[in-house]
Amino acid sequence: MYFVKEFSDGSALLGVFDGLGGQAGGDKASESARDSMAEFDPRSQSLERHLVELMQIANRSILDMVDEVPDLSGMGTTMTIAYVGDGSVTWAHVGDSRLYLFREGKLQRITEDDTIPGLLLAEGEIDQEEARVHPLKNVLFDCLGRGDFEAHAGRFEIQEQDILLLSTDGLHDEVPEKEMISILLLNKDLKGMLEALVSAALDAGGRDNITVVGAEV
């Protein structure tokens, strides 16, 4: 599931969400996370804190739904969101969806996966390809809807021709980052890049939710 909203000043709010806990519960959880984006205010003094507050709103909403319908117990969602404006990107994240920056032919992963291989990768114990095929890659230790969570947030500067990508694991579990770079270099327009990335995930046998959102500066 995804969210895209462009504001009158040319800034934009982007998000991707990947539900967990069965189709019904996962859909409800990701919808709740997406709906929380409606509360975003670009005039907030601290955008990082504001984005984390949106995640907290979504988390409470999911937990309230479980209280009302116990059969939904165990549902949750990843949430990766980014506000693009004033020459910078402010982001917040929990789970294993991702935010990437593609600049001058190089792909930089901004977020870290809340998984065992994500932790091992951050500590330098394994490399990116080993993390991609790790048997525990789909076991999350943090997400929305499972009680307290630890949000990650940050900000970085952007420049002309930068491309931002937000993706669920349906893409990056199937397509190695080296292949992603090749696809981004071969396609000249953003729409073609996104379509080619999704096609590559499907060709690799992807059956999970494949969601990719992009923005070009």
pLDDT of 127-161, one tens digit each?
888 888 898 888 888 999 988 999 999 999 999 99
- Residue pair 143/77 in contact (Cβ under 8 Å)? The answer is yes
pLDDT of 171-216, one tens digit each?
999 999 999 999 999 988 999 999 999 999 999 987 778 999 999 9
96: its two tokens: 């294993």
- Report the alpha-carbon distance of residue 197 to residue 202 in Å, rounded: 9
- Class of the domain covering 2-111+141-216: alpha beta
- Residue pair 117/131 in contact (Cβ under 8 Å)? The answer is yes
Question: Whole-structure pTM over 0.85, yes or no?
Answer: yes
Q: Provide the pLDDT for residue 23.
A: 65
76: its two tokens: 């949750």
**Whether pLDDT at 105 is above 70:** yes
The domain segmentation of the chain, as residue ranges, is 2-111+141-216
- Residue pair 110/91 in contact (Cβ under 8 Å)? The answer is yes
Q: Provide the pLDDT for residue 164.
A: 97
Q: How confident is the model at residue 84 (pLDDT cuts 50, 70, 90)?
A: very high
Q: Is 182 exposed, middle or buried (0-12, 13-18, 19+ CB in 10 A)?
A: middle
Q: Provide the pLDDT for residue 74.
A: 86
Q: Provide the pLDDT for residue 156.
A: 98
pLDDT of 31-56, one tens digit each?
999 999 999 999 998 999 999 999 99
Q: Provide the pLDDT for residue 209.
A: 80
- Report the alpha-carbon distance of residue 75 to residue 65 in Å, rounded: 10
Going by the DSSP 8-state scheme, the letter that residue 209 receives in this structure is -
- Report the alpha-carbon distance of residue 78 to residue 114 in Å, rounded: 10
Q: How confident is the model at residue 162 (pLDDT cuts 50, 70, 90)?
A: very high
Mean pLDDT of the chain: 93
